Structure 1
Amino acid sequence: MRNVPLAEVDHVDRAVLPIGTDYAPGHVLDWHEHRRAQFLYGATGVMAVDTAEGAWTVPPERAVLIPPATRHRVRMLGVSTRSLYIEPHAVPWWPTTCTVVDVPPLLRELLLAAVEFEADYSLSGRSGSIAALLLYEIAERAPLPFHVGIPASADLAGLCRAYLAAPDPDATNAAWAARTAMSERAFTRRFRAETGDSPAVWRGRARLLAALPLLRTASVSEVGARIGYSSPAAFTAAFTRAFGLPPSRFAAGRRGVGGS
């Protein structure tokens, strides 16, 4: 199924519904939720996924596992997706929070084949076997660290979401504390309690996540400078420490792990 709204087929008696969708650059799927779990794979481009608990940036040829009944928003940056909408009873092992995962060649080819199925595809033979194998392959995936937590309180969450939208390398704890009418010490303690990170560590990770969509169209040197790094080497070292891969693996003209 391609470019078919889930609502039109959600009633179909299949544990796995594969749908491929093409989106205009910058398209936003505003806040919504599905009763099914979703495996959202970006065959191209970068996806930014928000929930009340966190923000996930999904690089090209990766996917995000979205739990059932999780309110979320997705911004598409040049993305063509291959989604699986899965009945919760079929995946009791599904994570309880969004999780970014790698998509190796076998899983990618299974997804490409599955989106050609009709909604009421046969459960026997090739179609049913592919649907079953997809779940086995997804269950083997390990989480990747492309996310930051969002504080539960509205004032801190507002600061964080504004920073994700426009990361400022010159932001300071003192400035953030002043915006919440708190002392810097009290602000830092509260921020760490709600996110598990200090504000400075959180901002550093958010800036690195912001680099991922920029790398689609700009060089490593240009992106590093835009997000406040003094040299390409410093940017590459920080990015590699955070994500386990150098930014050159995501730069324009390159394909990430799992690409051919």
Structure 2
Amino acid sequence: MRNIPLDEVDHVERAVLPIGTDYPPGHLLDWHEHRRAQFLYGATGVMVVDTADGSWTVPPERAVLIPAATRHRVRMLGVSTRSLYVEPDAVPWWPASCTVVEVSPLLRELLAVAVGFEAGYSLSGREGAVATLILHEIDAGSPLPFHLRVPASADLARLCHAYLAAPDAGATNAAWAARVAMSERAFTRRFRAETGDSPAVWRRRARLLAAVPLLRQRSVTEVSGRAGYASPAAFTAAFTRSFGMPPSRFAGPANRS
């Protein structure tokens, strides 16, 4: 199925409903939720998935597992998706919170095949076997660390969401503390308790995540400056340390050497 709303087929009695969708650049799927669990794979482009408690950046050819009934929004940055909508009782192993995962070459090919199925595809023979194998491949996928936790308290969450919308390398703990009328020490202690990271570490990771879509259009040198690093080498080292792979892995075709 291609470019059809889930609501039109959600009633179909299939554990796995594959739907491929092409989105215009910069498209925002505003806050919504699904009855089913969702496997959201970007065959092209970068996706940013937000929930009340976190933000997940999904690089090209990776996917995010979204639990059933999780309210979320998705920013599509040049994305063509291959989504699976899965009955929750078919995947008791599904993670309890959103998780970015690696997508194997086999799973990519299976997804490309599955989006050609009709909603009421045959459960016997090839189509049913593909749907079953897809779930086994998803279960075997490795999680990736493209995630930021957002504080539960409203005032700190507002700070974080504003920063995610416009990351600023010049932001300081003192300035953030002043915005929520706290001392810097008390603010830092509270922020760490709610996110597991200091504010400075959180902001640095936010800038590195924001670099992922930028790398599709700009060179590592350009992106490193925007992320607040003094040199491409320093940026590359920090990016690799955080995500286990260099920024060059995410470069667009025009920026690959």
Fold conserved between structures, TM > 0.5: yes
1:230 aligns with 230
C-alpha distance in 2 between matches for 1:11 and 1:194: 39
Q: CA deviation at 1:142?
A: 1.6
Q: CA deviation at 1:241?
A: 0.1
Q: Is the 8 A contact 1:248 1:254 kept in 2?
A: no
**What residue ranges of structure 2 are gaps of 5+ in the alignment?**
none
1:104 aligns with 104
Q: Is the 8 A contact 1:16 1:84 kept in 2?
A: yes
C-alpha distance in 1 between matches for 2:254 and 2:212: 12
2:195 aligns with 195
Q: CA deviation at 1:254?
A: 7.8
1:22 aligns with 22
Q: CA deviation at 1:255?
A: 11
TM-score by length of 1: 0.97
Q: Please identify runs of 4+ aligned residues in structure 1 that moved more than 4 A.
A: none
Question: Which residues in structure 2 correspond to 1:162-173 (within 5 Å)?
Answer: 162-173=162-173
Q: CA deviation at 1:68?
A: 0.2
Question: Which residues in structure 2 correspond to 1:1-260 (within 5 Å)?
Answer: 1-253=1-253
**What residue ranges of structure 1 are gaps of 5+ in the alignment?**
none
C-alpha distance in 1 between matches for 2:181 and 2:53: 23
C-alpha distance in 2 between matches for 1:167 and 1:255: 23
Q: CA deviation at 1:253?
A: 1.1
C-alpha distance in 1 between matches for 2:172 and 2:162: 14
C-alpha distance in 2 between matches for 1:142 and 1:249: 17
C-alpha distance in 1 between matches for 2:19 and 2:81: 8
TM-score by length of 2: 0.98
Measured against aligned partners, the alpha-carbon deviations of 1:82-123 in whole angstroms (never above 9, x if no partner) come to 000000000000000000001111000000000000000000
May I ask how many residue pairs the two structures share in their alignment? 256
C-alpha distance in 1 between matches for 2:201 and 2:227: 14
Letter of the structure 1 residue corresponding to residue 78 of structure 2: G
C-alpha RMSD over aligned residues:
1.2
Q: Is the 8 A contact 2:218 2:255 kept in 1?
A: no
